[in-house]
Structure 1
Amino acid sequence: MRKSSASGIVFNCVNVIIMLAIVVATVYPFLYILSYSFSTASRMTGGLMLFPEGFNLDSYRIALGNPAIVRSAVVSAERTILGPLVMIFITSMAAYCITRDEMIGVRYVRRFFVFTMYFSSGLIPSYMLVKNLGMIGSFWVYIIPSAVNVFSMILIKTYIESVPKSMEEAAIVDGANDFKLYWQVIFPVCTPVIAAVVLFSAVEQWNSFVDTQIYNTMYPKLYTLQYVLYQTLSGASSLSQVKSQAITGTQSFVSPQTLKMAITIITVIPIMFVYPFLQKHFTKGLLIGSVKG
C-alpha cells in the first residue's frame, strides 16, 4: 500500500508539473504579445514580460484608425459569416446524400470524395479554374472554392448514420420527401456536429490569407485582415501606411514592433469570443464523430 501510494503521489506530482509547463508554454506567448502591444516603446527593456511596460493605447489607436485595417476587418468578417453558411448548406446536403445506400452509384461517389482528400489538382490548375470562372478580383473567390469540404462531409455523414432509423421512417410515413426529411428531421438533430463543422470553417475563413495572396493581391479593397497582418509582419508597405496615421500633435510612444503586436491581438480576439458559445456542441460533435469514424 505504501509503495502504491508513494508511486501515485509521484505520478500526480510529475503529471501536474508537466501540465503546468504545457499551460505556461501555451499561455505565455499570448500574454507576452498582449503586454507588448500595450507597452511604451521607450520603456521596453527586453526579456520576459508579464505586464505592460508603461501602459498606453497608441498602437491600437493607430491600427484602428487606419482605413485599410478597418476595411480588411470587414472583408474578413463577411467571409467568416458567409463562408461557413454556404459550406454547411452544400456540404451537409451532400453528406446526407451519400448516406442513402439506395442511391445508384453511392459507393463510387463516396470513393470519389475521399480521393480528393488525398490528391489535389495543385496550385496552377486551381488558379486556371478560378480565372476561367471569372472570380479573380472577386469576393466570391473566398466563398465558392470552400463551399464543399470533404472532411466536414465525412463528419456529418458519420453523425447522420448514428441517428435512429425510426425517426426517418416516421417522417416518411407522414409523407415527407428527401428534402423535407433532411431539413426538418435530420438537420435539427445534427446540431452538435454542425456546430463543430461551422467552428472549423469560421476559424479557417478568419485565419486565411493565402487565397488573398494568390488571387486578390492586386485588389486592396479585397484584402483580409490576416493578409494585412502578414504584410505588416513581413515589413511590407502597409506598415508604413499604418505608421503614417500616427496621432498628430502628441508625442507617440509606438514602435513598429508594438504596432505589429497590436494588429496581432486585433486579429485574434474576435475568433476567441466565438468558441465559448459553441464549445458544448463542438466537443460533443467531435466525440460522436470519432466513435463512429
Structure 2
Amino acid sequence: MRERSISGSLFDAGNLIFMLAILTLMLFPFVYIVSYSLSNPSMLKGGLVLFPAGFTLDSYKKALGDSAVLTGAGISIARSIIGPAVMLFFTSMAAYALTRNDLGGVRFFRKYFVFTLYFTSGIIPMYLLMGYLQLKGTFLIYILPSAVSVFNMVLIKTYMEGLPKEMEEAAVVDGANDMRVFFQVIFPVCKPVFAAVVLFECVNQWNAFIDTQIYNTMSPHLYSLQYVLYNTLNQFNSLEQLKEQGQKQLTAITPQTFKMAITVITILPIAFVYPFLQRYFIKGLLVGSIKG
C-alpha cells in the first residue's frame, strides 16, 4: 500500500507539472500579445514581453477611433447572436425529426444530410445561388446560409438518441403532439449539446469575414468587425501613413503593436463568453461517449 501511495503521489506530481507546463504554453501567446499591444515601441528591446514597457493605449485608440470599427462591431455582435439562435432553432428540429424511426424516408434523409458533409457545390455555384436569391448586399447573407448545420445536427441527433424513450412516451400518453414533445420535453434536457453547438456557431460567426468579402464588399454598412479590421490592417503599414493622415499625436504605435491590438480586440468577446458556457460545453463534447 505504501509503494502504491508513493507511486501514486509521484504520478500526481508529474501530472501536475505537465499540466502546468501545458497551461503556461497556452497562456503565454495571449499574455505576449496583450503586453506588446500596450507597450511603447521605443521602449521594447526585443525578446519576450511579459509586462507592458511604457504603458500606452495609442494602438487601441487607433483601432477603436474609426466609426467603421464600431459599425462593424455592431454587425458582428448581431450576427453572432441571431445566427446561432436561428441555427439552433432549425437544426435542433431537423435533428429531432431524424431520430424518429417511424418518419417516412428517414433513412434517405439521414444519408442525404451526411452526403453534404463530404461534397459541396463550391464557391462559384454558391455565389450564383446567393445572387439568384437576392441575398447579396443584405444582412441575411450572414444568417440564412448557416441556418442549418449538418455537423451540429449530427451532434444534437446523437445526444437526443441517448435520452430515455420513456420521457417522450409519457408525454404522448398525456396527449402531447410532436411540437409540444419537442419544445417542452426534449428541448429543455438538451442544454449541454445546445451550449456546445451554439458556442461553435458563435465563434464561427464572430471570426467570419470571407462571406463579407465575397457577398457584401460593395456594402460598407454591412462590413463585419473582422473585415473592417482586416482592411484597416492592410492600409496601415507605417508611421508615415499616420502622419500623412494628420495623426501625428499617435507616436507610440507601429504596425506590429497595431496588429497585436487588433488581435486582442477580436479575442476578448469570445474569451468573456466561454467561461459561462464551459460547464455545458464540456458535457456537449462527450456526446455519444456515455449512454444511460
Which residue does 2:159 correspond to in 1? Answer: 159
Q: Which moved more, 1:247-256 or 1:165-174?
A: 247-256
Three-state SS of the structure 2 residue aligned to 1:188 is helix
Q: Give the TM-score of the pair, scaled to structure 2.
A: 0.90
Which residue does 1:125 correspond to in 2? Answer: 125
Deviation at 1:239, TM superposition (A): 9.0
2:288 paired with 1:289 = yes
Please say if residues 91 and 149 of structure 2, whose CA atoms lie closer than 8 Å, have aligned partners that are also in contact.
yes
Deviation at 1:5, TM superposition (A): 7.9
Three-state SS of the structure 2 residue aligned to 1:52 is coil
Write the distance in 2 (CA, Å) between the matches of 1:44 and 1:180. 62
Please say if residues 33 and 264 of structure 2, whose CA atoms lie closer than 8 Å, have aligned partners that are also in contact.
yes
* Residues 219-268 of structure 1: CA deviation (Å, up to 9, x unaligned): 222111112233344x236999x958989684631222212211211111
After superposition, the Cα gap between the structure-2 partners of 1:204 and 1:216, relative to the gap in structure 1 and judged at 3 Å, is same
After superposition, the Cα gap between the structure-2 partners of 1:216 and 1:249, relative to the gap in structure 1 and judged at 3 Å, is closer
Which amino acid in 1 is paired with 2:262? I
Write the distance in 1 (CA, Å) between the matches of 2:265 and 2:199. 19
Write the distance in 2 (CA, Å) between the matches of 1:33 and 1:237. 18
Which residue does 1:59 correspond to in 2? Answer: 59
Q: Which moved more, 1:97-106 or 1:42-51?
A: 42-51
Which residue does 2:254 correspond to in 1? Answer: 255
2:82 paired with 1:85 = no
Which residue does 2:225 correspond to in 1? Answer: 225
Map 1:27-176 → 2, pairs under 5 A: 27-176=27-176
2:235 paired with 1:236 = yes
After superposition, the Cα gap between the structure-2 partners of 1:239 and 1:271, relative to the gap in structure 1 and judged at 3 Å, is farther
Which amino acid in 1 is paired with 2:255? P
Task: Please tell me the root mean square deviation across aligned C-alpha atoms, in Å.
Answer: 2.6
Which amino acid in 2 is paired with 1:183? F
After superposition, the Cα gap between the structure-2 partners of 1:247 and 1:80, relative to the gap in structure 1 and judged at 3 Å, is farther
Deviation at 1:113, TM superposition (A): 0.5
Please say if residues 229 and 264 of structure 1, whose CA atoms lie closer than 8 Å, have aligned partners that are also in contact.
no
* Residues 195-234 of structure 1: CA deviation (Å, up to 9, x unaligned): 111111111111111111221222222111112233344x
Which amino acid in 1 is paired with 2:201? S
Q: Which moved more, 1:107-116 or 1:60-69?
A: 60-69
Three-state SS of the structure 2 residue aligned to 1:259 is helix
Deviation at 1:163, TM superposition (A): 1.6
Q: Give the TM-score of the pair, scaled to structure 1.
A: 0.89
Between the aligned residues of both structures, percent identity stands at 58
- Which ranges in structure 1 are unaligned for 5 or more consecutive residues? none
Deviation at 1:130, TM superposition (A): 1.0
Write the distance in 1 (CA, Å) between the matches of 2:242 and 2:16. 45
Please say if residues 136 and 216 of structure 2, whose CA atoms lie closer than 8 Å, have aligned partners that are also in contact.
yes
Q: Which moved more, 1:144-153 or 1:222-231?
A: 222-231
Which amino acid in 2 is paired with 1:236? Q
Three-state SS of the structure 1 residue aligned to 2:48 is coil
Please say if residues 58 and 250 of structure 2, whose CA atoms lie closer than 8 Å, have aligned partners that are also in contact.
no
Which residue does 1:265 correspond to in 2? Answer: 264
Which residue does 1:186 correspond to in 2? Answer: 186
